[in-house]
Amino acid sequence: MRNPRPFFFLLAAAALAFGVFLRAGAGLAPPPSDPYQFHNVVIGGGGFVTGIVFSPAEKGLVYLRTDVGGAYRKDAHSKAWVPLLDWANQTDWNLYGVESLATDPLDAHRVYIAAGTYTNPTTPNGEILRSVDRGDTWERTPLPFKLGGNESGRNNGERLAVDPNDGRILFFGTRASGLWRSGDYGTTWDRVAAFPDYDEALPAPTNPRWRAPQKVGINIVIFDPRSGRRGAPTPVLYAAVSTPNASLFRSTDSGATWNPLPGQPLGLRPTRAALSTTGVLFVSYGKEAGPSGMTDGAVWKWDTSSGAWTEITPEKPGPGHAFGYGSVAVDPRHPDTVLAGTWSHGNPFDEIFRSTDGGRTWTALLGQAQWDHAPAPYTKTMNHHWLADLEIDPFDSDHAIFPTGYGIWVTHDLGVADHGRPTLWSFEDQGIEETVPLSLVSPPVGCHLLSGLGDIDGMRHEDFRVSPPAGRFGTPAFKNTGRLAFAWNHPEIVVRSGNTYHNDLVTAGYSKDGGVTWKAFAGEPPGTLGAYWRGEGPIAVSADGKTVVWSPTGVAPHLTEDWGATWFPCVGCSANLAVAADTVNLSKFYAYDTEAGTLVMSTDRARSFRAVAGGLPVVKGRFGPAPGKLSTVPGRESEFWVIAGGVLLNSHDGGVTLRALPNVSASQIGFGKEAPGRNFPALFLVGKVSGTEGIFRSDDYGSTWLRINDARHGYGSIGVITGDPRIFGRVYIGTFGRGIIYGDRKS
């Protein structure tokens, strides 16, 4: 192997220039804009809805929160859900994990969000978002601690609450920083020093991705409006802690002092609570906080007048059938009507129990229920699970909602259960798009878009206005489809890599009809079998569809020419190498080797690789070097673009020479149809141009850029972007929790 041509000097110069440019960014004019219209590619749901909040101040006003996809408000006229946080850009990606949501019981226009996705050291602190126009616009209060909207116990709540007698006052229970209070509509906050110390008794982590147990902390705050009068702070409120020890606390002096409730059950963790209009506190319990699982649980009620505790568990877990209870609700109009939801019930799904006598007797609802899957046909293959909440409309006792790990189910005939008839549940997720697209490809023929999705496999999108009638990709069924690639000369040949649904084992498959049907590869590269929580790894296919190269995470690339019956190692490659196929030359493949900091090329159908340029950054990932980002240009031999340390590089000769674009930093890049009169594809970029963050298009191969998004369309973290090779200007954006966005030029 000859020594690769060193490139470090050019990259360093570009990085230095870019750094100087950032410090002096105020002197550079922002790029011009090309206004776009953005819409979701409709799937419907697709992610974990962690809470439902009905406003008691106005009929028909309801909100929901998600773990990574922000928050939504139901539009009373269109009946669709309206996303409320699309304005948050990549810098503000952390706000899309909603820890809790609260409405003002006295003012229908006021709504609050506790936003923050993770508590790890590299994630920014959380914020309280405040709105006086139902979430159309927001003001922000930074918090001195982190939130965990996508961590353990995110299904619990609500931990944020507004005083029902004095809307200036809010309380917020945190994961590790105690109880906090605001007296000015959430603008400023102070810690409640009097809240008792507690032992959360954290269990050992069961998820191999977590190195330490995640704290849940104070997960429930509830006011008792009967104890106060309008215009003054409510004296009595309750707070719960996710602990098997004494977990329920009460204050009778508006939060100044706190004491544990006497006689409360021990040994289980509270998950949800509901207070009836007659003063009965209903509490659901699980041995674990969720959502990874629960192995025991119960439902109790406490009479606030007599102080008596009564267990009202509908179905008790037992040997051979371990489960817990994740939710409980009480009808505001009929205080003896109670709902309780199981967690990890299985056999074959979670269940909702209904009582009309305060929990003395119960009726199971879901086993005999009817289901309307029409809005999202893929849900036919999904069991209702992760039943995080149950809510009854305060203005309509027949209207109830429960969320799952993939969306919400709604009934408008809850009362028919009183007459022994089955309830009808509809997947009313219109507008809710919470998938995490991991890969998007737009072939030059056939359907315009194929998606690889987290948790729900992937889909073939022919009509963006409706959820695909065929549902998920199908056999072989994946949990995650992390990578997709098609053969440029035969785009009906598509390959995909991912993880199996039940045990997260790495796997891959292929299609010869544009993703309509799929087959599993006959085998996997050596070292892949049994891989768990490591990742599917990059996969590529030659332009003629005859050579497939796959490098599962932690494994060096291997090639097959017989659909996986035999695999051969690619000589000269590091592990985790993201190989890309030339779109013209059938023998050429390229990769950015982040372990060695080199660009490598093969001219013998991936049998061997040699370095052609060196000195690029070494990029670390969870399992060693992370796959590099190299994208080959459609229809142009030996041309590709590379993102190295945020610098955008272009080569016209297989990496022998490289050009760094000035005043540009990139996290994602894709290609679309060329502009009229041009002979090279349009470029789409996620990053910064002249110091401006956004989504951009270039029609002259990177010489100039147009910003195509605006302040209302940031979409948080964007993990993939590509254009449409048949429609000039069309762009597809894969977000971390807001689904697939497609955009077209307004003009």
**CA separation (Å) from 142 to 70, 138, 146, 187, 198?**
17, 13, 10, 9, 26
Residues with Cβ within 8 Å of residue 677, at least 6 apart in sequence? none
Q: How far apart are CA 311 and CA 297, in angstroms?
A: 11
620 Cβ contact list (under 8 Å, min separation 6): 626
What is the length of the chain?
747
Say whether 67 is catalytic.
yes
3-state SS class at 488: coil
Tell me the C-alpha to C-alpha distance, in Å, between residue 618 and each of 197, 523, 612, 645. 45, 31, 16, 9
Q: What angle do CA 119, 284, 381 make, to 5 degrees?
A: 75
Q: What are phi and psi of 530, to 5 degrees?
A: 90, -5
Distance separating alpha carbons of residues 247 and 589, to the nearest angstrom: 59
Q: What are phi and psi of 93, to 5 degrees?
A: -55, -30
Interstrand relation of 370-372 and 424-426 (parallel, antiparallel or unpaired): parallel
Asked if the bond preceding 158 is cis, omega within 30° of 0, the reply is yes
Q: What is the DSSP letter of 433?
A: B
Nearest Cα neighbor of 483 from 503, 454, 523, 520 is: 454
Structural contact between residues 411 and 426, judged by C-beta atoms closer than 8 angstroms = yes
DSSP string, 8-67: HHHHHHHHHHHHHHHHTGGGSPPPPB--EEEEE----B-S-EEEEEE-TTSTT-EEEEES
Residue type, 488: W
Handedness of CA 382, 384, 386, 392 (dihedral sign): positive
Q: Is 457 a catalytic residue?
A: no
Q: Is the peptide bond before 557 cis (omega within 30 degrees of 0)?
A: no
User: Which of 296, 393, 455, 699 is an active site residue?
Assistant: 455
Inter-residue contact 258 to 250 (CB < 8 Å) = yes
The beta-strand segments (E) located in 242-351 are 248-251, 259-260, 269-275, 280-286, 297-303, 309-311, 324-330, 338-343
DSSP state letters, 693-727: EEEEEESSTTSS-EE---TT---S-EEEEEE-TTS
Distance from the Cα of residue 141 to its chain's centroid: 23
**Which residues are marked as active site?**
67, 455
